[in-house]
Amino acid sequence: MSGLSSRVVLATRNPHKVRELSRILTPYGVGLASLDEWPDVPDVAETGTTFAENALLKARAVSVATGLVAVADDSGLEVDALNGMPGVLSARWAGRHGDDAANLALVLAQVADVPEPRRTAAFVCAAAAVAPGGAEIVVEGRVDGSLLRAPRGDGGFGYDPIFVPAGESRTTAEMTAEEKDALSHRGKAFRALAPRLNELLDGVE
């Protein structure tokens, strides 16, 4: 396999995710392309009710638009005291998509009166790969943990500064990129997906 057909396009323009997914997938020998190479491809509305549905929506649309195997994810924070929310609404919980500071502040306010034993939460990620011919793979990764009462750490993005994985004393924002990848929901999902990408690449003419 060579040339464009051997590449996988990451169906995101989020620079944080591009860097993170590149770190995770590159060791598997997968040739990666950024969606920025296709500026005319429109953003895909995340209208699904689950992470898997949204990941597949994005991967399908980008695969059709680029003619490549497309990889997408949808991920977010599920807070037990909020009945699993913000969930698929994590990126726009405060009303505007991608406003990390506002989203984080709103979650903290909503669980302000929740006692420590009930401040449990999980990061969940669905990773999907779709080939131009329609073949699809979707896998999920999850990391359980708890929420702090105030942000801590300068790394990561999103809700990382308030999330402490189970068995850890640090937030995911206090970890190095490599440490976070080793245990994160996206790390788990994409490490499960990466070996199976060859199945899709082998079917691309």
Share of residues in the chain with pLDDT > 70 (%): 96
The strand ranges marked E within 48-168 are: 69-79, 120-130, 136-147, 163-165
- In the chain, the largest separation of any two C-alpha atoms, in whole Å, equals 57
Q: pLDDT digit string (tens) for 6-62?
A: 689 999 888 877 888 888 888 887 778 889 999 999 888 889 999 999 999 999 999
Query: What pLDDT does residue 13 have?
Result: 84
Mean pLDDT throughout 64-77?
A: 94
Q: How far is residue 41's CA from residue 44's CA, in Å, rounded to a whole number?
A: 9
Query: What pLDDT does residue 6 have?
Result: 61
* Residues with catalytic function: 74
Mean pLDDT throughout 115-127?
A: 97
Q: Which helix (H) or strand (E) holds 63?
A: helix 51-66
Q: How far is residue 39's CA from residue 11's CA, in Å, rounded to a whole number?
A: 12
Q: In the predicted model, is pLDDT for residue 160 greater than 80?
A: yes
Query: What pLDDT does residue 2 have?
Result: 35
Give the mean pLDDT of the chain: 90
Domain ranges of the chain: 3-202
Query: What pLDDT does residue 115 have?
Result: 97
Q: pLDDT digit string (tens) for 96-113?
A: 887 999 999 999 999 999
Q: Which helix (H) or strand (E) holds 54?
A: helix 51-66
Share of residues in the chain with pLDDT > 90 (%): 69
Tell me the fold of 3-202.
Maf protein (3.90.950)
Contact by Cβ (8 Å): 72, 128? yes
Q: In the predicted model, is pLDDT for residue 4 greater than 50?
A: no
Type of residue found at 65? A
